[in-house]
């Protein structure tokens, strides 16, 4: 199976992110979405992992299915919240057994009820990255990056220092979504000043619903700029117009990122393909 680090070394990557469904209807939707996006020849796809391992089984099932039944390279998200080292080792062995060797190592969201949280052997994502590397040096490891700083970081400098430390062990990073080019360029510049030049793949989130993106932005620390809220607010009563603004602004950002030399694009699909396919067509990337 292709390693994402090797794909990035060979050229730009174009990738999509999915979440493991919780219902039979959701699995059917995901299968249809993957089939539709497969026509775009993605470099790889990733599958998310619930807080504290809440989707552990479903994440593994989705990743293993993609590996076995499709020609697409999958990457499994993995969080260290509420996990012991033995549990992580078991999960990594399970992925190795189905020939999945691309891991996105994340801290994960803190448990909603700390009093009832399961034990964890990890305090920071860096410790998970180091464990994955030690457990199987052949894994290709990605980490998360926040262009506008992780919401739980004490400062911008501390956030960048921590990311640089992760990237000295990992192979690449994928960013949380953002809406302005300067946020990405500033992140890359901050890492270069720290002697880190690993590939930083920007994450693209086409807005199709104002309320849901606002909620996700609040959780992730991403800022929705005034010019964008104004555009969305002017068409807030028209869902089709909101979606058109989302696709147009995502297309403009993606084009600017590619022009600035970004090593690829990672699309947050929300398990739907239409917006991503439209952006692909707008960029002239569709086969």
pTM score: 0.93
CATH of the domain at 228: 3.20.20.220
Give the integer Cα–Cα distance in Å for 269 and 276. Answer: 7
Instruction: Name the percent of the chain lying above pLDDT 90.
Output: 68
Say how far apart CA 50 and CA 66 lie, in whole Å.
18
Please say if the pLDDT value at position 52 is more than 60.
no
- Spatial contact of 277 and 286, defined as CB atoms under 8 Å apart: yes
Give percent above pLDDT 70 in the chain.
95
Q: Round to whole Å and give the CA distance between 2 and 73.
A: 6
Which residue segment(s) compose the domain that 251 sits in? Answer: 4-283
Look at the chain and report how many structural domains it folds into.
1
What angle (nearest 5°) sits at the alpha carbon of residue 174, between those of residues 26 and 287? 65
Q: Which of residues 286 and 6 earns the better pLDDT score?
A: 6
Place of tokens 């990605």: 142
Report the alpha-carbon distance of residue 247 to residue 241 in Å, rounded: 10
- CA-to-CA dists, residue 174 to 113, 143, 187, angstroms: 28, 6, 12
What is the crossing angle of helices 85-97 and 125-135, to 10°? 50
- For residue 112, what pLDDT is reported? 61
Is the pLDDT assigned to residue 271 strictly greater than 60?
yes
**C-alpha pair distances (Å), 149 with each of 53, 113, 182, 183:** 24, 25, 13, 10
Choice among 22-31, 41-50, 105-114, 258-267 with the minimum mean pLDDT: 105-114
Structure confidence by residue, pLDDT tens digits, 226-238: 999 899 999 999 9
The answer to whether 74 and 66 are in contact (CB under 8 A) is yes
Q: Residue 173 to residues 79, 86, 100, 176, 249: CA-CA distances in angstroms?
A: 15, 25, 18, 10, 23
pLDDT, position 180: 95
Higher pLDDT, 119 or 143: 143
- Told to judge if 17 belongs to the known catalytic residues of this protein, a careful annotator would answer yes
pLDDT band at 123 (very low <50, low <70, confident <90, very high): confident
Distance from C-alpha of 120 to C-alpha of 117, rounded to nearest angstrom: 9
Catalytic: which of 17, 130, 148, 278?
A: 17
């Amino acid at each position: 199976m292709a390693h994402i680090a090797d794909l990035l070394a060979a050229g730009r990557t174009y990738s999509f992110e999915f979440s493991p469904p919780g219902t039979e209807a959701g699995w059917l939707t995901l299968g249809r979405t993957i089939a539709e996006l497969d026509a775009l020849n993605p470099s790889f796809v990733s599958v998310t992992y619930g807080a504290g391992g809440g989707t552990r089984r479903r994440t593994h099932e989705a990743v293993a299915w993609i590996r076995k039944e499709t020609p697409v390279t999958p990457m499994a998200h993995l969080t260290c919240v509420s996990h012991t080292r033995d549990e992580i080792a078991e999960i990594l062995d399970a992925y190795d057994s189905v020939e999945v060797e691309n891991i996105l190592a994340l801290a994960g969201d803190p448990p909603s009820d700390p009093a009832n949280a399961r034990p964890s052997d990890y305090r920071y994502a860096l410790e998970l990255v180091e464990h994955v590397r030690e457990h199987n040096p052949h894994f290709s490891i990605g980490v998360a990056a926040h262009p506008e700083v992780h919401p739980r970081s004490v400062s911008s400098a501390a956030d960048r220092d921590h990311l640089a430390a992760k990237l000295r062990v990992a192979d690449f990073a994928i960013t949380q979504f953002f809406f302005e080019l300067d946020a990405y360029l500033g992140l890359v510049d901050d890492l270069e000043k720290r002697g880190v030049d690993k590939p930083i793949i920007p994450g693209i989130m086409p807005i199709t619903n104002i309320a849901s993106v606002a909620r996700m932005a609040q959780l992730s620390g991403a800022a929705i700029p005034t010019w964008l809220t104004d555009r969305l607010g002017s068409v807030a009563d028209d869902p089709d117009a909101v979606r058109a603004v989302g696709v147009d602004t995502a297309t403009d950002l993606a084009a600017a990122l590619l022009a600035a030399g970004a090593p690829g694009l990672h699309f947050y699909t929300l398990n739907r393909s239409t917006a991503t396919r439209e952006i692909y067509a707008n960029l002239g990337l569709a086969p």
